[in-house]
């Protein structure tokens, strides 16, 4: 006897017209049509779209205009909303998706159902992203997620990860995908970080040019990914990733996406410095097509093999997946890495002369620097007059789940925080601007990302800060040496 159809619950939380569920093509809104195609897949029951009741009326109007029939829930967090809807509808299990679920595959849905069986609690596709991740959850599984995470959001792509950390005895399974790691890495490299999707124009064109009957086809989606990467297959990348763990891979992908934003701001010159390359040299390697030479410093290199891994990955991407990198191979020379001096030391130990740099940059490094003033003075010494430094600074709480933007560390004064020897320095964006301006830089904040999420109690020492500084969780700051 065939098993009962599995309903689908799509959790959304739109805050602007740029939300993925409101993406439109020439033929109208895409997401409702994609969900309609999903509802026609054999074995899939009704498709429910869930949003919090706090969704503003103007946004509700846009969702209705797009053709989305939304169930508004008194619950805010995704896992709570899914549990409430499953209880209300009497659902034993549900396929849990988000508004980013554009690259789904009907065949994988059927395989996931078979793997989940009648005893599974949380079954997901392995190596997936929000774009293509499938998550099947039982009532017992969602109850456990809510019980273990009562005060913070957990979105479906992280259900399996959170369940592994929990204390419940759940049945957890993962469905392996051919070329799964390579496919995921390509998606990570190609993502538009502002939207959390593949480049929107390409995604629109993909669905407009593909017959609706092929919208839930892995083969169709893979053709899109390979075309965007300028590649013919996943095999070369799969081999390059064999020695690389997930943390390293994610780090590299973030570096590449950052460099897409940084390179248009970097005026070509003779010599650049990367302050704190972390685990990977990809950022510096991508600048060697526009600078004569570079120096990359990192005093806390955890794995001495990482620079070699990143070089191998750079060679693979630049040769076989050239559109994934912000790098013009013809301008970089045959062996660009010979022009990169890698130093496992602090910047003051690198032996660089005064006025020797045209450009300096870092990516989520300065929030970890404890002697901020000393390092800033050294950079002022090294940059020539008119030299530029650009730093992206991560200013949210690093002690908790990095998937959520929180500021619980603002319960402490900066002095208390430093005494705890935490990984961040608690400087706010206006503190950096004030310091660098005083040292002789012309400073402007190019990007300021703010989300007001107050801590449970705010230490009195922060009372003089404006909200746009206090709750800025990420900033891109440029400073030009006078």
Place of tokens 């602007």: 16
The two counts, helices (H) then strands (E), for the chain are: 17, 16
d(CA 420, CA 470): 20
Task: Kindly report, residue by residue over 460-471, the tens digit of the pLDDT.
Answer: 999 999 999 999
d(CA 405, CA 408): 10
Backbone torsion region of residue 100, taken as left when φ is above 0, otherwise alpha when ψ lies between -120 and 50, otherwise beta: alpha
Tokens of 371: 């002697």
211 three-state secondary structure = coil
Note the pLDDT of residue 47: 97
Radius of gyration of the chain (CA): 24
pLDDT in tens, the chain (482 residues): 347 899 999 999 998 899 999 999 998 999 999 999 999 999 999 999 999 999 999 999 999 999 999 999 999 999 999 999 999 999 999 999 999 999 999 999 999 999 999 999 999 999 888 999 999 999 999 999 999 999 888 999 999 999 998 878 999 999 998 899 999 999 999 998 778 899 999 999 999 999 999 999 999 999 999 999 999 999 999 999 998 888 899 999 999 999 999 999 998 999 999 999 999 999 999 999 999 999 999 999 989 999 999 999 999 999 999 999 999 876 666 678 899 999 999 999 999 999 999 999 999 999 999 999 999 999 999 999 999 999 999 999 887 655 678 898 999 998 898 888 788 999 999 999 999 999 999 999 999 999 898 998 999 999 999 999 999 999 999 999 99
Whole-number Cα distances in Å, 311 to 29, 184, 205, 282, 323: 42, 20, 34, 7, 17
Tokens of 256: 């590449």
Note the pLDDT of residue 400: 61
Beta carbons of 220 and 210 less than 8 angstroms apart? yes
Nearest to 166 by CA among 40, 79, 252: 79
Task: Kindly report, residue by residue over 218-238, the tens digit of the pLDDT.
Answer: 999 999 999 999 999 999 999
Work out the end-to-end distance of the chain between its first and last CA atoms, rounded to an integer number of angstroms.
77
Q: What angle do CA 99, 102, 106 make, to 5 degrees?
A: 120
Residues 6+ apart with CB under 8 A from 402: none
Tokens of 253: 């992908």
Tokens of 439: 């040292």
The DSSP annotation for 401-443 comes to -TTS---GGGGS-HHHHHHTT-SS----HHHHHHHHHHHTEEE
d(CA 377, CA 439): 7
d(CA 424, CA 408): 13
d(CA 115, CA 122): 10
Second-level CATH architecture of 246-481: 3-Layer(aba) Sandwich (3.40)
Note the pLDDT of residue 336: 85
Tokens of 13: 């939380």
Note the pLDDT of residue 151: 85
Beta carbons of 229 and 321 less than 8 angstroms apart? yes
Task: Kindly report, residue by residue over 89-126, the tens digit of the pLDDT.
Answer: 999 999 999 999 999 999 999 999 999 999 999 999 99
Note the pLDDT of residue 403: 60
Beta carbons of 282 and 252 less than 8 angstroms apart? yes
For the chain, domain boundaries: 6-178, 246-481
Residue 392 pairs in a beta bridge with: 363, 476
CATH of 6-178, one of 3.50.50.60, 3.90.550.10, 2.60.120.200, 3.40.630.30: 3.90.550.10
């Amino acid at each position: 006897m065939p098993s009962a159809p599995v309903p689908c619950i799509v959790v959304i939380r739109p805050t602007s017209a740029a939300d993925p569920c409101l993406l439109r093509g020439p033929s109208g809104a895409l997401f409702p049509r994609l969900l309609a195609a999903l509802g026609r897949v054999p074995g899939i029951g009704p498709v429910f779209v869930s949003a919090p009741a706090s969704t503003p009326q103007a946004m509700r109007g846009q969702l209705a205009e797009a053709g989305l029939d939304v169930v508004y829930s008194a619950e805010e967090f995704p896992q709570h909303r899914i549990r409430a809807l499953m209880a209300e509808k009497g659902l034993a299990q549900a396929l849990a998706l988000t508004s980013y679920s554009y690259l789904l595959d009907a065949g994988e849905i059927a395989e996931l159902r078979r793997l989940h069986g009648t005893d599974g609690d949380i079954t997901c596709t392995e190596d997936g992203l929000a774009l293509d991740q499938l998550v099947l959850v039982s009532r017992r599984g969602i109850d456990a997620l809510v019980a273990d995470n009562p005060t913070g959001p957990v979105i479906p792509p992280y259900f399996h990860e959170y369940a592994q950390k929990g204390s419940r005895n759940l049945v957890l399974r993962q469905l392996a995908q051919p070329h799964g790691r390579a496919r995921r890495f390509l998606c990570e490299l190609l993502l538009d970080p502002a939207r959390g999707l593949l480049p929107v124009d390409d995604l629109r064109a993909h669905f407009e040019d593909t017959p609706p009957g092929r919208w839930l086809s892995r083969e169709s989606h893979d053709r899109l990914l390979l075309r965007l990467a300028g590649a013919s297959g996943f095999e070369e990348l799969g081999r390059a990733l064999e020695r690389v763990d997930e943390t390293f891979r994610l780090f590299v992908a973030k570096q590449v996406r950052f460099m897409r934003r940084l390179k248009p701001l970097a005026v070509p010159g003779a010599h650049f410095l990367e302050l704190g390359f972390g685990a990977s040299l990809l950022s510096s390697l991508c600048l060697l097509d526009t600078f004569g030479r570079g120096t990359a410093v990192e005093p806390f290199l955890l794995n001495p093999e990482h620079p070699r891994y990143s070089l191998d990955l750079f060679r693979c991407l630049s040769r076989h997946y050239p559109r994934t990198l912000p790098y013009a191979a013809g301008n970089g020379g045959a062996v660009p890495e010979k022009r990169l001096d890698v130093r496992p030391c602090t910047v003051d130990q690198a032996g660089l002369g005064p006025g020797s740099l045209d450009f300096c940059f870092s990516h989520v490094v300065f929030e970890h620097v404890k002697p901020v003033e000393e390092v800033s003075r050294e950079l002022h010494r090294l940059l020539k007059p008119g030299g530029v430094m650009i730093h992206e600074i991560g200013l949210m709480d690093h002690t908790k789940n990095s998937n959520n933007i929180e500021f619980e560390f603002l319960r402490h004064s900066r002095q208390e925080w430093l005494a705890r020897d935490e990984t961040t320095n608690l400087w706010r964006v206006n503190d950096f601007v004030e310091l660098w301006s005083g040292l002789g830089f012309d400073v402007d904040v190019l990007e300021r990302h703010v989300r007001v999420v107050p801590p449970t109690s705010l230490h009195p020492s922060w009372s003089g800060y404006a909200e746009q500084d206090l709750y800025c969780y990420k900033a891109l700051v440029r400073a030009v040496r006078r």
